[in-house]
């Protein structure tokens, strides 16, 4: 069962809401966060820290997204789900 929600992220002094979807994945889960109309998939690693998973085909599209924003999204997910 997929659960959709709005993910509030504080970035550059303001709150930004990103549409997100929690997806069970085997014994764990993934969270898809839509940033600038691009779906980034975040999953917890072995240490329970979230990381963005980007396919090789999508790397060019994802290059224009601020890496610090992705890090902030991962930290927010860690705070909420970690």
Angle at 68 between CA 43 and CA 48, to 5 degrees: 25
**Max CA-CA distance within the chain?**
37
Give the Cα separation of 64 and 78 in Å (integer): 24
Q: What is the pLDDT of residue 2?
A: 80
Q: What are the residues facing 32 on neighbouring strands?
A: 21, 41
Mention every residue, 6+ apart, whose C-beta is less than 8 A from residue 45. 51
Summarize pLDDT for 28-45 with one digit per residue, the tens: 899 999 998 889 999 998
Please tell me the total count of domains within the chain: 1
Check residue 28 and give left, alpha or beta (phi > 0: left; psi -120 to 50: alpha): beta
Higher-confidence position of 29 and 25:
29
Q: What is the pLDDT of residue 82?
A: 75
Domain that holds residue 70: 3-81
């Amino acid at each position: 069962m997929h659960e959709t929600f709005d993910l509030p992220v504080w970035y550059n002094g303001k709150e930004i809401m990103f549409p997100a979807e929690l997806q069970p994945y085997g014994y764990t889960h993934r969270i898809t966060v839509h940033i600038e109309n691009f779906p980034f998939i975040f999953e917890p690693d072995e240490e329970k820290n979230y990381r963005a998973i980007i396919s090789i085909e999508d790397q060019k599209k994802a290059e224009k997204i601020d890496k610090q924003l992705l890090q902030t999204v991962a930290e927010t997910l860690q705070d909420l789900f970690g």
